[in-house]
Amino acid sequence: MKNGFSVFMAAFIALGLSWCGFVLGPVEQLGTAKQTSVLNSSDTYPVQRSGDATLGLQVYRASGCAACHTEQVRQDGVVCEVVLINTGKNAAVVSNLVSTLKLDGLTKDEADAVSDKITTAGGKAEIRIVPVGTDIARGWGVRRSVAADFLYDYPVQAGSLRAGPDLANVGARLPDLNWQLVHLYAPAAVVKNSAMPPFRFLFELRKLGDAPLPDALQFPKEFLPPAGFEVVPTPEAKQLAAYLLSLRADAPLYEAPFTPVTTKP
Amino acid sequence: MNPTETSNNLGGASVLASRIDASCRVPLLALFGGAAVWLVVGLVLSLAAIMTFHKPDMFADCPFLTYGRAQAAANDALLYGFCIPAGLGVMLWIFARLSQTELCLPLVPIVAANIWHLGVLVGTVAILIGDSTGFAWLEFPRGGSVLLFTAFLLIAISAVATFGQRRERELYPSHWFLLAALLWFPWIYSTANLLLITHHPVRGVAQMAIDCWFANNLIFVWLSLAGLGTAFYFLPKLAGRPLHSNYLALFAFWTLILFGTWCGIPQGAPLPAWMPAASAAAAVLTLVPVLAVAVIAVKTVCGSEAACNGGPLCHVKFGTAAFILSGLMLIASACPQFSRVTEFTWFGPAQTQLQMLGFFTVVMCGAIYELLPRVMGFGLPFPRFVRLQHWLFMLGIVLWAGSLGVGGVEQGMKLGNSQTAFADSTGVALIFLRAGTTGLFLILLGSLLFAANIFVMTIKWKIALLKSLLAVVKAPLKMEEVES
């Protein structure tokens, strides 16, 4: 390259191409995304977070929680499983048949074949779609995370490091508000050997009045605050907990299908 | 070295060289002085952040130093506070030297350096008080970003003006890399800020895609362009041999800007599948420039008779080696097989730390140690610190990035096995993090030596300035003035 202009053009073209790909592309493809509908339901997804939870996202951002926590569940694929719903009139025959068949970890075709056999014998079976992967086996989520999960978030706090567990579905996993607050105040009180720093600055240690405040945290026996004191969450702590409880990526979607377990056979 | 002495002994070329160096003096001091402060501050913050993994409740009552804030502030102080201004300062000097002309508009970079460091201060304080934007590597809120953007443009004006005045019309490989870096930063920084840090940001995961694109283009591409441009200037100069091949350098330049800029989208990201796939393909192709740089560096340095001795040449050599390793780590972590293990682990931070501290910081320190005595006109106050710092940095970076990297792989193996408890994966990472802390401490010690050299030089220069001012004031009046 002989002159400054050719260097400038080279850089302009190279960066311009990737700008079109990774800036213009996603803005065009995802920037106008809207709510989607939940599979086999008239509900829409995602639902706008409540006011407290929306403010809680800002506490999450300000505290830099995403430095250690991801909100992305990974999935290796899906398998099908067949569940017997009803044995029908020939209960004994169907039960016998079912006991000889492989019912889980099937492909779609295998599952159809198994379901057909059960139907022919007079029973009734349901085919379920089950996502698989280590994150799902750990119970961190029921399906992989998709773009729709982050539709209303600003800033999107997807994270890139798991110094702590994934939080994509923490609201469904750990729905107890008191547990969440105690965990923020003293992680070691509820998770043994937790490496998480306590966020005591989000709480107030108050002298006990005539009666405990309704907001005061309920601690396990070994971790009670000093006698005559109680721990009360600040508004920020409540908002953060509300945000954590609002993290529920558990709706089956077209791009991440699964069959919710509603009836145990 | 006294300029008049040189002119008598060595003739016109050195007069020009020393005039060029002198024209850079104040702008470079302004850029490097602030950079040295941020290097130390960034490493101290980094050390404070890592202490959380030794004693989780250390900052439980101190919101300013909670891990998420201290970590982000440390990274930004190192990247925006040290790396970019140091790179810009070295760039100005290289442009002036290659152009064989004095620095154009020297006042502009002086003002710009102060605006830049003010911007970093505003941004870092904002992160510590909880005003971060929440986007990785783009945490500075708008006030800080505007200052940084303005300052960069001002410095770019001075650099381009110097480039335009060049007497030597032919371009060197360093020119390509450094000119591209001048275009790169304003483009990516304005794009990311305009689309993410506004009242009408783009919706949903498009934010994530743009943030990943920005972070990769800044940490991988920009640092590589500025760092390699510097290395390709200093390696031949210090080794006393010409750069191995201009054609290979041109090839490395083109492939780096064409492929490197597409890397950075994580493999498991909840984005349309074409994006991680395109990123993985680009990462594999990025192997080409990384290997080309390796060939150029080895062929340029091998057979050189210049003694290394822990001096600037050692710094630049080690930095270039770190670039090659960090490039290979980036490529590896984009391969689907490998990324299944390393995604969401400390392997990612290991790569960025190696790129930022192992490659860029070390190359810049080497370059500054080489050029600053020329620019100031007197030698380093503590020449022995150069060698000591080289060893501290080398050991520290191997320990720090090495333990993060190995710890990341170990953590990923445990994370990928659902039979292993999650606590086991964090537990194994903790052991490596604690070992890595020693490395970080050594790097901090090295950076203190660097800062000491810069500051004593600045103070010496200021004292000399004051003395000459005093001499002017105290000088006896000339007869004509007395009479009139």
Residues of chain A neighbouring B222 (CB-CB closer than 8 A) = none
Q: Average pLDDT in the B49-64 region?
A: 95
Confidence of residue B6 (pLDDT cuts 50, 70, 90): very low
Q: Average pLDDT in the B103-124 region?
A: 97
Q: What share of chain A in percent tops pLDDT 90?
A: 74
So what's the pLDDT on residue B44? 98
- The closest alpha carbon to A73, from A165, A168, A138, belongs to A168
Q: Average pLDDT in the A212-235 region?
A: 92
CATH of the domain at B49: 1.20.120
CA distance B452 to B456: 6
Helix (H) or strand (E) holding B148: helix B142-164
Helix (H) or strand (E) holding B446: helix B422-474
- Total domains in the fold of chain B: 1
pTM of the model: 0.95
CA–CA min distance A111, chain B (Å): 25
Q: A42 and A147, same structural domain?
A: yes
Confidence of residue A90 (pLDDT cuts 50, 70, 90): confident
User: B427 in contact with A at a CB cutoff of 8 Å?
Assistant: yes
Q: A218 and A206, same structural domain?
A: yes
For B430, the closest chain A residue by CA position comes to: A195
So what's the pLDDT on residue B2? 35
CB atoms within 10 A of CB A77: 9
Evaluate whether residue B113 is within a structural domain: yes
CA–CA min distance B162, chain A (Å): 12
For residue B13, pLDDT beyond 80: no
Evaluate whether residue B102 is within a structural domain: yes
For residue A96, pLDDT beyond 70: yes
CA–CA min distance B268, chain A (Å): 7
So what's the pLDDT on residue B309? 83
Q: A163 and A235, same structural domain?
A: yes
Helix (H) or strand (E) holding A36: strand A36-37
Q: A98 and A185, same structural domain?
A: no
Evaluate whether residue B28 is within a structural domain: yes
Are residues A155 and B345, on separate chains, in Cβ contact within 8 Å? no
The residues facing A125 across adjacent strands are: A84
Evaluate whether residue A185 is within a structural domain: yes
Residues of chain B neighbouring A72 (CB-CB closer than 8 A) = 268-270, 344
Are residues B212 and A22, on separate chains, in Cβ contact within 8 Å? yes
To the nearest whole number, what is the mean pLDDT of chain A?
92
Q: A87 and A200, same structural domain?
A: no
- What is the value of ipTM here, to two decimals? 0.94
Higher local confidence (pLDDT), A117 or B88: B88
Residues of chain A neighbouring B71 (CB-CB closer than 8 A) = 64, 67
Q: For residue range B447-463, what is the model confidence (pLDDT) as tens digits?
A: 999 999 999 999 999 99
Nearest CB to A1; choose among B171, B196, B425: B171
Q: Average pLDDT in the B139-147 region?
A: 96
Evaluate whether residue A83 is within a structural domain: yes
Confidence of residue A2 (pLDDT cuts 50, 70, 90): confident
Q: A173 and A123, same structural domain?
A: no
So what's the pLDDT on residue B478? 77
Evaluate whether residue B360 is within a structural domain: no
Interface test with A, best of B67, B342, B413 (most A CBs within 10 A): B67
Q: A112 and A216, same structural domain?
A: no
Are residues B52 and A197, on separate chains, in Cβ contact within 8 Å? yes
Confidence of residue B306 (pLDDT cuts 50, 70, 90): confident
Token pair of B480, please? 């004509």
Evaluate whether residue B385 is within a structural domain: no
Evaluate whether residue A30 is within a structural domain: no
User: B273 in contact with A at a CB cutoff of 8 Å?
Assistant: no
Q: Average pLDDT in the B400-407 region?
A: 97
So what's the pLDDT on residue B65? 96
Residue B114 has, within 13 A of its CA and on its CB side, a CA count of 5
Write out the residue range of the structural domain in which residue A226 sits: 36-74+137-246
Nearest CB to A63; choose among B56, B69, B187: B69
CA–CA min distance A228, chain B (Å): 20
Write out the residue range of the structural domain in which residue B135 sits: 14-170
User: B65 in contact with A at a CB cutoff of 8 Å?
Assistant: no
Residues of chain B neighbouring A143 (CB-CB closer than 8 A) = none
For residue B324, pLDDT beyond 50: yes
So what's the pLDDT on residue B85? 98
Are residues B132 and A146, on separate chains, in Cβ contact within 8 Å? no
CATH of the domain at A125: 3.30.1390
Evaluate whether residue A21 is within a structural domain: no
So what's the pLDDT on residue A262? 63
Q: Which residues contact B176 (CB under 8 A, 6 or more apart)?
A: A1, A7, A10, B229, B249, B250, B253
User: B287 in contact with A at a CB cutoff of 8 Å?
Assistant: no
Are residues A23 and B191, on separate chains, in Cβ contact within 8 Å? yes
Distances (CA, A) of B268 to A76, A79, B233, B383: 10, 19, 39, 48
So what's the pLDDT on residue B9? 42
A156, B205 Cβ separation under 8 angstroms: yes
Evaluate whether residue A203 is within a structural domain: yes
Evaluate whether residue A4 is within a structural domain: no
So what's the pLDDT on residue B476? 85
So what's the pLDDT on residue B440? 97
User: B323 in contact with A at a CB cutoff of 8 Å?
Assistant: no
So what's the pLDDT on residue A209? 87
Evaluate whether residue A31 is within a structural domain: no
Residue indicated by tokens 């970590």: B71
Q: A47 and A177, same structural domain?
A: yes
B317 — alpha (psi -120 to 50), left (phi > 0) or beta?
A: alpha
Q: Average pLDDT in the A136-152 region?
A: 94
Is residue B467 classed exposed, middle or buried when 0-12, 13-18 and 19+ CB atoms within 10 A define those classes?
exposed
User: B315 in contact with A at a CB cutoff of 8 Å?
Assistant: no
So what's the pLDDT on residue B12? 67
Helix, strand or coil, per DSSP, at residue B105: coil
Evaluate whether residue B321 is within a structural domain: no
Are residues B209 and A65, on separate chains, in Cβ contact within 8 Å? no
What own/partner pairs with CB < 8 Å and gap ≥ 24 does A85-91 have?
A: A85/A123, A85/A124, A85/A125, A85/A126, A85/A263, A85/A265, A86/A123, A86/A124, A87/A122, A87/A123, A88/A121, A88/A122, A88/A123, A88/A124, A89/A122, A90/A121, A90/A122, A90/A123
For residue B119, pLDDT beyond 70: yes
For residue B321, pLDDT beyond 90: yes
Q: Average pLDDT in the B126-133 region?
A: 97
User: B218 in contact with A at a CB cutoff of 8 Å?
Assistant: no
Token pair of B81, please? 């506070």
So what's the pLDDT on residue B303? 85
In this structure, are strands A124-132 and A77-86 parallel, antiparallel, or unpaired? antiparallel
Are residues B187 and A19, on separate chains, in Cβ contact within 8 Å? yes
Q: A224 and A179, same structural domain?
A: yes
Evaluate whether residue B375 is within a structural domain: no
Are residues B261 and A14, on separate chains, in Cβ contact within 8 Å? yes
Q: Average pLDDT in the A18-38 region?
A: 93
Nearest CB to B179; choose among A8, A62, A138: A8
So what's the pLDDT on residue B484? 61
CA–CA min distance A22, chain B (Å): 6
Interface test with A, best of B170, B203, B426 (most A CBs within 10 A): B203
Nearest CB to A64; choose among B72, B160, B207: B72
Q: Which residues contact A169 (CB under 8 A, 6 or more apart)?
A: A73, A140, A141, A142, A247, A248, A249, A250
- Total domains in the fold of chain A: 2
CA distance B177 to A59: 41
Q: What share of chain B in percent tops pLDDT 70?
A: 97
User: B194 in contact with A at a CB cutoff of 8 Å?
Assistant: no
So what's the pLDDT on residue A95? 87
For residue A168, pLDDT beyond 70: yes
Q: Name the DSSP letter for residue A176.
A: -
Evaluate whether residue B476 is within a structural domain: no
Q: Average pLDDT in the B229-258 region?
A: 95
Interface test with B, best of A45, A49, A162 (most B CBs within 10 A): A162
Q: A176 and A50, same structural domain?
A: yes
For residue A32, pLDDT beyond 80: yes
Q: What share of chain B in percent tops pLDDT 90?
A: 90
Evaluate whether residue A182 is within a structural domain: yes
Q: A152 and A121, same structural domain?
A: no
Confidence of residue B11 (pLDDT cuts 50, 70, 90): low
